[in-house]
Structure 1
Amino acid sequence: MTNTPSSPASTPTLLFICTRNGGKSQMAAALAAKHGGDTVEVHSAGTNPGTSINEESAAAIAEVGADMSQGTPTAIDPDLLCRADRVIVLGSEAQVEPVDGMRAEIDTWITDEPSARGIEGMERMRLVRDDIDGRVRELLDGLKSEKTRTVR
């Protein structure tokens, strides 16, 4: 999933990473694209990408007006790691090592896993989506604040 900005020089680049790149990182990217519009450039990738988008994840995202259905699991691009302003790893399973030239620190979001409490299916996906959505909104609000401080 990529949301291409109109003015890349002043637009933060976000890279969301998980293991398979079919669920959580794609969800985060879809939500960031929805909420951030052309104020952010959004990418997602996986440390060991699968072959398809998680259907329940896509359905949960669609419920809130975002779209990840056309996403394709993708491996991490080292050039994108260097170019990204924010690198966010979703979950503890994906391990991302910094590469020479990176300007962003690697941040990890540990999402509560409802299945550990016996919650499965769409109820699980909605809880995961809502947790990620809150974090994405907080990230975007922080980026707006940074931009406002820089402009002044």
Structure 2
Amino acid sequence: MTPSVLFVCVKNGGKSQMAAALMRQYAGEKMTVYSAGTQPGSAVNAESAQAVEEVGATMAGEHPKPIDPTLLDTVDRVVILGGDAVIDPAGTAPIERWETDEPSARGIEGAQRMRLIRDDIRKRVAALAEDLIKS
């Protein structure tokens, strides 16, 4: 059976979309990937999209969406990105939180900020993919 993961952040426009795009790129058909937000925004963050495109991944066709509660019972893992998103752990999927690098706390903004966030998420995605695919 193909493992699955749900990436969650608040707006589902940046970090969770980046993680999903990078996981699709890394795992391809070996993983089913979802992303959602606790308070979905109106659009995907353009700087986030550009940052993942620089490494060959894509957010094309994606848009912010709310959490589908049925996914909390059906995915193999839920990953919450950042410290702001909170979900009701009513589902049965294991939940983990990734406190991702936040370069803006060090005064780093714009494209450089997004690249650092992308690289942090990318490393975590690779480790998660290896863990779920071998299970």
Residue 128 of structure 1: aligned partner: 117
- Measured in 1, the distance between the counterparts of 2:29 and 2:68 equals 22
Which digits, 9 at most, give the CA deviation of each residue in 1:9-45, with x for residues without a partner?
x011110000000000000000000111111100000
Which digits, 9 at most, give the CA deviation of each residue in 1:119-142, with x for residues without a partner?
000000000000000000000111
Residue 145 of structure 1: aligned partner: 134
Q: Is the 8 A contact 2:3 2:133 kept in 1?
A: no
Partner residue of 2:24 out of 5, 30, 33: 33
Number of aligned pairs?
A: 135
Partner residue of 1:84 out of 66, 75, 83: 75
Residue 3 of structure 2: aligned partner: 12
- Measured in 1, the distance between the counterparts of 2:72 and 2:14 equals 20
How far does residue 145 in structure 1 lie from its aligned partner after superposition?
A: 2.7
Q: Is the 8 A contact 1:50 1:73 kept in 2?
A: yes
Which digits, 9 at most, give the CA deviation of each residue in 1:36-55, with x for residues without a partner?
11111000000000010000
Q: Structure 1 unaligned runs (5+)?
A: 1-9, 147-152
Partner residue of 1:50 out of 24, 41, 58: 41
Partner residue of 1:96 out of 83, 87, 91: 87
- Measured in 1, the distance between the counterparts of 2:5 and 2:94 equals 12
- Measured in 1, the distance between the counterparts of 2:60 and 2:114 equals 15
TM-score, normalisation: structure 2: 0.97
What RMSD, in angstroms, separates the aligned Cα atoms of the two structures?
A: 0.8
Q: Structure 2 unaligned runs (5+)?
A: none
- Measured in 2, the distance between the counterparts of 1:105 and 1:28 equals 17
**Structure with bigger gyration radius:** 1
Structure number with greater CO (CA < 8 Å, separation at least 6) is: 2
Whether 1:66 and 2:51 are equivalent positions in the alignment is no
Q: Which runs of 4+ in 1 moved over 3 A?
A: none
Residue 117 of structure 1: aligned partner: 106
Q: Is the 8 A contact 2:7 2:34 kept in 1?
A: yes
Which digits, 9 at most, give the CA deviation of each residue in 1:92-140, with x for residues without a partner?
00001112xx331210000010000000000000000000000000001
- Measured in 2, the distance between the counterparts of 1:33 and 1:94 equals 22
